Structure 1
């Protein structure tokens, strides 16, 4: 499943470039070219991972827009600003923005800022979770099957937690690498394959648990899950 972003930018050329670049980078992008159109479609906030908001827009500037929605926003947001004054940047951060970038911006730089924000805001479950016949405790990096206890590495625990949060979904290799390792390259991809072999070995006693490889794309995850308080 692609991470969903909302872009609010009134510059038609820039908005189109950013939308196309981010979609090419495997994000789902909903673009509004007027702040009022966004306000008329607040249902689009559902499942959104990040707002990208231009500061200078007609009728409602980005700061005012975010302030109006502050009580409704539980997702991070990033400001685009054409202004060079430090006052505007400080104000944006005081409002609660996770980051800002000055226009005209390099799409690749924006992409890196987005990845960093999503990684900072990614949380792992802290409860004990029953996965079939196993009991997973992320806080202790442990996995238990009957009387056998597996001590996981931190990366193994993070990877398993990521799969729990994306259960019964097709997860993309690129998104796994960028979320857990912070970047996507050939050597990290080989490391991911090693970690997948380990997870399959840990869970071999329960046939209901599946980490199926989808060639060239990622993995289809099937975990029978129950959370314990």
Structure 2
């Protein structure tokens, strides 16, 4: 375990509000008590509000926030990969925010870790890459989901037949053929998925209230009954 990770773990253990001995910490982190004493002294010297003494135990005063970005190497790589995925495949606003977040994350990484982060690449097939129009649709639909607003769609199916629907948007899913809005369709009175790239136009409508039989938990139960795993 890197020393930075060990210091983070010590802080996490002491945040519990219980008196914790150096022996307990040394057994948990698999290092010597002398190492724990040295680490705690360094934490106190850096301003972490730890009270206690050797032979008695240590406790952290309430209200201390752990500094951000104290990640392990694997955690950093996961964050970088997820951010790059959203940058390439998310809505326009979300992609922009992901790019800005990536700059901030990389700015505080150690030199060796930054080089590894630069090698993380995300690729996707053409069916999964949204167009600029679809990126903006994703942003607007996401806002409607958050505000629980109905959407009136003009939609073309796989045979280019057009229809108009009023839906209750529930979630955005990256499905097998791209982004879909998962919804309750008021015309069919059932759950439906509409591909973003087949939505020709839409407008936002009036708010809808949550109903147990028309929400995501009910959809998941319906899929389970049919033996469908939405994660596959």
TM value normalised by structure 1? 0.22
* Greater RCO (CA < 8 Å, at least 6 residues apart): 1
Compare CA radii of gyration and give the structure with the larger one. 2
More helix by percentage: 2
